[in-house]
């Protein structure tokens, strides 16, 4: 299988984590948007919006990181635990996957995009919307974690939670009254499949538009 993406990209991490966690052999094709290399050109053709990651498995092309995890769970027997076999548990996992994508990752991205658009004067409304949205999501997750827990193994939810909590905390630090969220982030970052993504992305930290903090 071939995975196209970039080591610093949050959604690429989400696609990479299942490969690392379940030891699935693959070739990584690093896109270079500056040089518009072959991998970049492929993604522009393969994805309707030119976004990454994109997975290729023979004749099959899969885009959207969630669909990649779903595909691997179905295609690779060892990776089946990515999606719970119980349908109700699977629905819950998909709900939490959407939570991390829409209400953590994409909300945080508002702040990052405002900085990319104008580093000197980021749109205050976008910055405010992103930061307020993250604080609301942290508070919601803190309450959810009081009564629920994530599976111990790497699941679809881990794949979504890892990059979203990693970068969200750089954008709007997890507040002191969200200790469960902070503990979850630390626990997930310590997983070997996730720390590998963190390490592979380290050389690109200067690209973080808000300035990467000196930690993690
Ligand atoms: N919904 C997509 C989001 C993918 C996405 O936004 N990827 C970012 C990189 S983290 C990207 O392609 N950015 C470049 C662009 O939007 O042109 C998924 O789940 O795969």
pLDDT score recorded for residue 33: 85
pLDDT score recorded for residue 152: 85
- Which atom of ligand 1 has the smallest separation from the CA of 50? 17
- Which atom of ligand 1 has the smallest separation from the CA of 66? 19
The CA distance from 13 to 6, in Å, is: 8
- For residue range 23-40, list pLDDT tens digits in order: 999 999 999 988 999 999
48-80 per-residue burial string, b: 16 or more CB within 10 A, e: under 16:
eeebbbbbbbeeeebbbbbebbbbbbeebeebe
Q: Is the CA virtual torsion 115, 55, 15, 69 positive or negative?
A: positive
Q: Which tokens sit at 175?
A: 């507040």
Q: Which tokens sit at 190?
A: 């310590």
Q: Which tokens sit at 133?
A: 């949205």
Q: Which tokens sit at 81?
A: 């635990």
- Is-above-0.85 flag for pTM? yes
What percent of the chain has pLDDT above 90?
Answer: 98
Contact 168, 134 (CB under 8 A): yes
- For residue range 139-191, list pLDDT tens digits in order: 999 999 999 999 889 999 999 999 999 999 999 999 999 999 999 999 999 99
Substitution site in 5, 11, 107 for ligand 1 pocket (most atoms within 8 Å of beta carbon): 11
Find the residues whose C-beta lies inside 6 A of ligand 1: 9-11, 50-52, 64-66
Contact 213, 205 (CB under 8 A): no
Contact 50, 43 (CB under 8 A): yes
% helix, strand, coil for the chain, step of 5:
65, 5, 30
């Amino acid at each position: 299988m071939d995975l196209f993406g970039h080591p610093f990209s949050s959604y690429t991490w989400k696609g990479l984590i299942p490969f690392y966690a379940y030891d699935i052999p693959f070739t990584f094709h690093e896109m270079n948007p500056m040089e518009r290399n072959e991998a970049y050109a492929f993604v522009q053709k393969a994805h309707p919006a030119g976004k990454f990651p994109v997975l290729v498995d023979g004749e099959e092309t899969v885009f959207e990181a969630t669909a990649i995890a779903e595909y691997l769970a179905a295609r690779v027997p060892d990776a089946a635990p990515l999606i719970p076999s119980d349908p109700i548990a699977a629905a819950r996992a998909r709900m939490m996957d959407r939570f991390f994508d829409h209400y953590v990752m994409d909300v945080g991205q508002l702040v990052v995009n405002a900085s990319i658009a104008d580093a000197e004067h980021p749109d205050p409304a976008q910055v405010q919307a992103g930061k307020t949205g993250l604080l609301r999501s942290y508070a919601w997750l803190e309450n959810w974690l009081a009564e629920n827990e994530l599976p111990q193994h790497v699941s679809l939810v881990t794949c979504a939670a890892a990059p979203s909590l990693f970068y969200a905390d750089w954008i709007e630090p997890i507040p002191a009254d969200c200790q469960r969220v902070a503990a979850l982030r630390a626990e997930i970052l310590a997983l070997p499949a996730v720390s590998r993504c963190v390490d592979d992305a380290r050389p690109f930290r200067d690209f973080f538009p808000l300035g990467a903090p000196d930690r993690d």
